[in-house]
Structure 1
């Protein structure tokens, strides 16, 4: 049987992986709708940070002989539907900022939940999770001026 710390480490990494992929997908869903070039640059940079973190997580999962985790289809579908509907009703950078801020806040909350749920995870996986939280918090702060 797998040791609890290894199991917690893998579970935390998988959740971070799914969260990072969800963020990349969400940014891709709105990027072409952003009018302001600075906001587009901000979102593109955040997407790059998430992709880099995905690569780091992939490496750690490989070291633990584990597979990546994709975001849940229901969560992805609901996020896409909310984005499509909100932007269909009210286009604009403020709407994009609102959607992305909601997503960041949900991600931050969920990641903290996983840190608590997998307390025996190793230092490197907790560090990755905290880096992801930092990326989400920074994006949320940077988007406030567009709300």
Structure 2
């Protein structure tokens, strides 16, 4: 159980960090106050989940997980290129929805591969998936 718990917590931790970094990059392009508020609220939720996963990892004597460097670089390049071409709310919503979808897939896959992870880590992962699903739903009105 401990190995699966650590694996799931690290995946959640890295996913939260990736989401926070992405939201920080998009902040400079926001021109819609409502979208900015939605993003701020979502970032705060991701920060809380990231802190919770960090705390649980620390309690287990484990280090936090950093997002994959290649995935982070690809995300940065994709974001910059797409926003150079078109930087409106619809484009930002599409980028956020794509990122949320990747996060949902990544966390869900890890949950399925780690069925014996602790209840606490599974609960955290489910909260993260719900947070991503809500962000996707919230973004639909900007398309």
Q: Please state which band the TM-score falls in when normalised by the shorter chain.
A: over 0.9
1:43 aligns with 2:45: no
Q: Distance in 2 between matches of 1:114 and 1:56?
A: 18
Give distance in 2, aligned partners of 1:62 and 1:107: 23
* Cα distance between partner residues in 2 of 1:122 and 1:46: 25
2:127 to 114, 128, 131: 131
Q: Cα offset for 1:110?
A: 1.1
Gaps of 5+ in 1: none
CA RMSD of aligned residues (A): 0.6
SS in 2 for 1:33: coil
What residue number does 1:53 align with? 49
TM-score, length-scaled by structure 1: 0.96
Q: TM (normalized to structure 2)?
A: 0.98
Any unmatched runs of 5+ in structure 2? none
Q: Which segments of structure 1 move beyond 2 Å, counting only runs of 4 or more?
A: none
Instruction: Note the C-alpha offset of 1:91.
Output: 1.4
Secondary structure in structure 2 of the residue aligned to 1:67: coil
3-state DSSP of counterpart to 1:52: helix
